[in-house]
Chains A and B, each alone.
Chain A
């Protein structure tokens, strides 16, 4: 049996972990998932103006007894750091964060590269686990595992979505 499309695999993993609130800043990569979440009554999506808001909205939902996951693009990931550190890590609030990774194979915009490449290093320096499924066969196990890790230990965990999995954005698209 062929694996589920990576977007469906993420949707199903979020459902199986009772994730409900989805704060996000959209991008072409994560929108492939977000557009499905927006149509699915199991989720409440919250477009925000800036990435750190997304972390804080997710933290608030968890503080009130619900589960949330955040979607952002690599170019704005840096905006999440203060909230990840001083809310999610300091208060031990689980915030699974999906990052649409630009700056890799097929990248047409040179400014995406210096913001995306340091992200694994930022995450390592912050002691935030991060995982990057590169093929559809791995998406369910990686995302299930990341969500379990985040909620069981009440910590932020990042899932990095690279072009090897999601396809490169085209300059003309």
Chain B
């Protein structure tokens, strides 16, 4: 499975629901797949995307909220899984694209390359619904459940890293304000 294919599978299943993208490849690939006001692109604060998603999910319980995280990033913020489990937001879908590397800094292998299992960590943290997938077909099947059934969900997808598109020309402040207006207008 490739990250852009997973992102397209997600976009095929949403309308105006918020998607929060991790810095680097997830932000780049989401932008190139479809520009939407309900996309929140991050560029730093590595590891925080699941926490941002939790804040969005708590503030907007009427919307399903999707997070596209990465393995290197989630490894920086494993406590977030316990925080999410404790809050138990039914509307949060946390997708982890696990390429087993810090792709943005040269492809150095992360701990998932030597056996750390983020799905098991999510499960042990108390996340209600955790699925680990390795194929696009299984990812789409997991998404179908997550879209239609109460969560919180954590979907850990093993992906092959094939790089990403060019850095998109996004104003971070404008992105925030457009994203916020999808909730307040």
Q: A interface vs B, CB < 8 Å?
A: 20-21, 23, 44, 46-50, 52-53, 55-66, 68, 82-83, 85-87, 90-93
Q: B interface vs A, CB < 8 Å?
A: 18, 20, 40, 42-49, 51-60, 77, 79-80, 82-83, 86-87, 172-173, 175-176, 179-180, 183-184
Residue of B nearest to A23 (CB): B55
Also in contact, A91 and B58, with CB within 8 A (given A49-B80, A53-B83)? no
Chain A residues with Cβ under 8 A from B175's Cβ? 91
Q: Once the chains bind, are A63 and B179 in contact (CB under 8 Å)?
A: yes
A60 to chain B, nearest CB (A): 2
Chain A residues with Cβ under 8 A from B52's Cβ? 56-57, 59-60, 63, 87
Chain A residues with Cβ under 8 A from B87's Cβ? 46
Q: Once the chains bind, are B45 and A46 in contact (CB under 8 Å)?
A: no
Chain A residues with Cβ under 8 A from B176's Cβ? 63, 91-93
Q: How far is the CA of A131 from the CA of B180 in the complex (A)?
A: 28
Q: How far is the CA of A53 from the CA of B48 in the complex (A)?
A: 6
Q: Is the interface of A mostly helix, strand, loop or mixed?
A: helix
Residue of A nearest to B60 (CB): A64
Among B45, B53, B83, B86, the one with the most A-chain Cβ atoms within 10 Å of its Cβ is B45
Q: How far is the CA of A124 from the CA of B172 in the complex (A)?
A: 24
Also in contact, A65 and B58, with CB within 8 A (given A48-B79, A53-B48, A91-B172)? no
Q: How far is the CA of A56 from the CA of B83 in the complex (A)?
A: 12
Q: A68's contact among B55, B86, B179, by CB below 8 Å, is which?
A: B55
Q: Once the chains bind, are B45 and A86 in contact (CB under 8 Å)?
A: yes
Q: Once the chains bind, are A46 and B48 in contact (CB under 8 Å)?
A: no
A21 to chain B, nearest CB (A): 6
B81 to chain A, nearest CB (A): 9
**A49-B79, A53-B51, A82-B46 provided; 4 other pairs, C-beta below 8 A?**
A53-B77, A60-B52, A60-B54, A65-B59
Can you list 16 contacts pairing A with B, beta carbon distance less than 8 Å?
A: A46-B58, A46-B87, A49-B80, A49-B82, A52-B48, A53-B80, A55-B48, A60-B54, A63-B52, A64-B55, A64-B56, A64-B59, A86-B44, A87-B42, A87-B44, A87-B48
Residue of A nearest to B175 (CB): A91
B26 to chain A, nearest CB (A): 16
Chain B residues with Cβ under 8 A from A68's Cβ? 55
Residue of A nearest to B176 (CB): A91
Q: Once the chains bind, are B60 and A57 in contact (CB under 8 Å)?
A: no
Residue of B nearest to A46 (CB): B87
Chain B residues with Cβ under 8 A from A56's Cβ? 45, 48-49, 51-52, 55
B38 to chain A, nearest CB (A): 10
Also in contact, A63 and B180, with CB within 8 A (given A49-B83, A87-B44)? yes
Residue of B nearest to A93 (CB): B176
Chain A residues with Cβ under 8 A from B183's Cβ? 63-65
Chain A residues with Cβ under 8 A from B49's Cβ? 56
